[in-house]
Amino acid sequence: MKKIILSVIVLSQMTAIAVYGQTETQTQTQQKGTTTRTETVTQAGGVYTRTVTETNAQNVGVAFGFKANVNLSGFIINDMNNSDSRMKPGGSVGGLVKIAFTKGFAMQPEIIVHYKESERWDKTMNTTSDYQYWGVEIPVYYMGQITMGAGKWLIGAGPYVAFGINAQRRFTGGETVDLYQKDAMTGDAAMQRWDFGAGIFAGYEWRNSFTITGGYQLGFLDMLDAGRKTADMNNQTLYVGIEWKFWMKK
């Protein structure tokens, strides 16, 4: 009876090979960022094994990259009833380091050079002037990551610190004023150089590490220097941009 059962099993296996060409069994092991799969394949010509190693560098590790944004920036003005701020377009470029601690959590410090512009509207005189300024900012974002489709969704938040390099106010008639130049009498400038705030963003990162993001930043410091005792003027920025990252090999 045992011989009959064994013969049936062997015959079934040979039939499967003849009909389907091969049969396979698989075992799979996972390590940090790497999946190793061993496959045993039975074909009409014999039995052999193959090992397939799949590495997903985007799950954990360190990546370096660059980014470019277009922005709309302006000021939130308080206690200046005769003035308002309107956003105007600008841009920024810079570098980043992404540190992926797990598949679902990462940190991303950046260093950005930005150009921002906004319009100041004097309601009393019904005149406008433009604020134009260059600066450097260093944000540090902490982000969650959700794998979906051909990549992963990103959502994050974090603080930033910024330093103004050059800023001027350009009036309609062509006159310009250096906003960082200190008054000889008071020692105060129209605006201060330092800013500190926080930002939020969301984006999508494809498997090739190309990323599209959009976000908002709000400054916590009053940017006024000479008029800081009577009014407040805080930075705000909306942006959309792209990123490209290069993952370090382990």
Could you report the per-residue pLDDT of 45-92, keeping only the tens digit for each? 555 555 544 445 457 899 999 999 999 999 999 877 788 999 999 999
Coil vs helix vs strand at 6: helix
CA atoms within 13 A on the CB side of 145: 25
Q: Is the pLDDT of residue 3 over 90?
A: no
Q: Is the pLDDT of residue 33 over 90?
A: no
pLDDT for residue 20: 43
DSSP state of 124: T
Average pLDDT over residues 225-241: 90
Q: Is the pLDDT of residue 181 over 50?
A: yes
CA distances from 151 to 40, 59, 156 (A): 30, 11, 16
Closest CA to 213 of 234, 240, 189, 187: 240
Residue 63, both tokens: 């990546």
- Contact, 213 vs 29, CB < 8 A? no
Q: Which residues contact 137 (CB under 8 A, 6 or more apart)?
A: 111, 112, 114, 160, 161, 162, 163, 195
Residue-wise pLDDT tens digits, 182-196: 988 888 999 999 999
Q: Which domains does the chain have, with CATH numbers?
A: 2-55 (no CATH), 61-247 (2.40.160.20)
Span of 1-5, 90-94, 158-162 with lowest mean pLDDT: 1-5
Residue 53, both tokens: 């190693």
pLDDT for residue 29: 52
Coil vs helix vs strand at 20: helix
- Contact, 96 vs 245, CB < 8 A? yes
What is the C-alpha to C-alpha distance for residues 192 and 60, in angstroms, rounded to an integer? 40
pTM recorded for the entire structure:
0.75
CB atoms within 10 A of CB 127: 12
pLDDT for residue 186: 86
Residue 190 class from Cβ within 10 Å (0-12 exposed, 13-18 middle, 19+ buried)?
buried
